[in-house]
A and B are shown apart, each in its own frame.
Chain A
Amino acid sequence: MDCTHAQSLLDTYVDQELDPVRHLEMQEHLQGCAGCAQNYSDRQMIHQSLKTESLYFKAPRGMENRIQRSLRQAARAEAPSRRWFSGDWFKIAAPLAVAALVVLMIVPYFAGPSPDEVLGQEVVASHIRSLMVDHLADVASTDEHTVKPWFNGKLDFSPPVVDPAKEGFPLIGGRLDYLNNRSVAALIYQRDKHLINVFVWPATDRPITEARKKQQGYNVIRWTGSGMNFWVVSDLEASQLAKFAELLKSSLRAS
């Protein structure tokens, strides 16, 4: 350790705030360096001279009483506004409130997703699967009168099939699929290069809450109408898909 370094650490050494290794290095240096040792003894002398009791100002008599009085006054002045946050009831109510808040925040995580959310995941998975393998359509036809009869004998219902080709959403085929623990009809439509899967099955149990959602980057629209559940999935932009859903609804109402 050189003198400049020792000099910079001198006060920390005097105050015994150096780490053990540096402390020992410093001790060694002071043993071998007269100049630094002199500085060290000066530091100690200053430290000693400051330790004198007469340099420490003790609180004058009467000050404590004065301060206690002013604190009591302040406490009285603040009492009304503080009442809400003090007292026994608050000591009990505050932890209860915190506990209630925690429960409220946690419960949704344990309750799990709603049936519609689970079904939504199934629908999206089905859509993705239909695009992955070469199994988009069991019956590839742009003719609704070919697609609709194809389902005969394969399903216990006849899905409504429309073809809004004029509006730019041509029908390209149909497929059997399995969703919600049952066989369902999947109708495939196209908008430019985007494929749209429409899953249809009879609304026997409960109607679905109509909703538009985004799931894993796909837009999903669902509703119940004409006694059928409809789930529409596509990577098509949300407003376009909404337009398509409206077209389906209106043509179904007309038919």
Chain B
Amino acid sequence: MPHMNAAYNLARWLTRNEDDAQDVVQEAYLRAFKFFEGFHGPDARAWLLTTVRNTCYTWLEQNRRNRSATPFDEEIHTGEEDAMNPSSLALKSGDVKIVRESLEELPDEFREVIVLRDLEELSYKQIAAVIKAPLGTVMSRLARARERLKRILCSRLKEKF
């Protein structure tokens, strides 16, 4: 099966749960099969990831109603006042757990762009197609996502020592 790892990786990061990720991927492949049997376009991976992402959000909507999740509001997350005053980041190779937890802590909208860019290595253009947003939004959202990830990492590293 093509792109199964990519599909699972994205689903796993978005659902943050192994079993749910498997269900979502299966559902996504069924959807992909139904709506576009034998899609062999030049960008099959980005196309499949779009389907996985949509399936994830449908799934999250259905399963998150009872959990008190704060709705995403870009305005709230724009406070990057200390962006210009860098606190140097000292990550060591043994800090994988901290990186993973920090990434999981990010809001979905930030987490997905980091996963699509840094893990799946999609181009900005592909990401724009997957999340159905203009290129400029991809750029600014990635910047905010990484800034936020950096702050979470910093505070977690401080806690550690």
Q: Which positions in A face B, CB cutoff 8 Å? A: 3-4, 7-8, 10-12, 15, 17, 35, 38-39, 41-43, 45-52, 54-60, 63-64, 66-68, 70-71, 74-75, 78
- Not counting A50-B103, A52-B99, a sample of 12 additional A-B residue pairs whose C-beta atoms are within 8 angstroms of each other reads A11-B146, A17-B124, A17-B139, A42-B86, A43-B150, A47-B118, A57-B8, A59-B8, A64-B4, A68-B1, A70-B29, A75-B33
- The chain B residue with its CB closest to the CB of A57 is B12
- The chain B residue with its CB closest to the CB of A37 is B86
Query: For window 51-99 of chain B, which residues contact chain A by CB distance below 8 Å?
Result: 83-86, 88-89, 91, 93, 95-96, 99
Q: Measured between alpha carbons, how far is A245 from B142 in the docked complex, in Å?
A: 76
Contact status B100-A59, CB under 8 Å: no
Q: Measured between alpha carbons, how far is A54 from B101 in the docked complex, in Å?
A: 13
Using Cβ atoms and an 8 Å threshold, which residues of chain B touch A75? 33
* Candidates B29, B34, B93, B118; contact of A67 at CB < 8 Å: B29
- The chain B residue with its CB closest to the CB of A47 is B118
Interface residue B133 (Cβ < 8 Å from any Cβ of A): no
Using Cβ atoms and an 8 Å threshold, which residues of chain A touch B123? 17
Using Cβ atoms and an 8 Å threshold, which residues of chain B touch A47? 118
| Main secondary structure on B side of the interface with A | helix
Measured CB to CB, the closest approach of chain A to B9, in angstroms, equals 5
Q: Which positions in B face A, CB cutoff 8 Å? A: 1, 4-5, 7-9, 12-13, 18, 21-22, 25-26, 29-30, 33-34, 83-86, 88-89, 91, 93, 95-96, 99-100, 103, 114, 117-119, 123-124, 139-140, 142-143, 146, 149-150, 153
**A/B interface sample: 11 pairs, CB < 8 A:** A4-B84, A15-B117, A17-B123, A46-B91, A49-B91, A50-B103, A50-B114, A56-B119, A57-B9, A58-B8, A70-B30
Using Cβ atoms and an 8 Å threshold, which residues of chain B touch A38? 86, 88
Using Cβ atoms and an 8 Å threshold, which residues of chain A touch B93? 52
Q: Measured between alpha carbons, how far is A47 from B33 in the docked complex, in Å?
A: 34
Contact status A59-B25, CB under 8 Å: yes
A10 touching B22 in the complex, CB below 8 Å, given contacts A55-B96, A56-B9, A67-B1: no
Contact status B143-A55, CB under 8 Å: no
Q: Measured between alpha carbons, how far is A64 from B86 in the docked complex, in Å?
A: 45
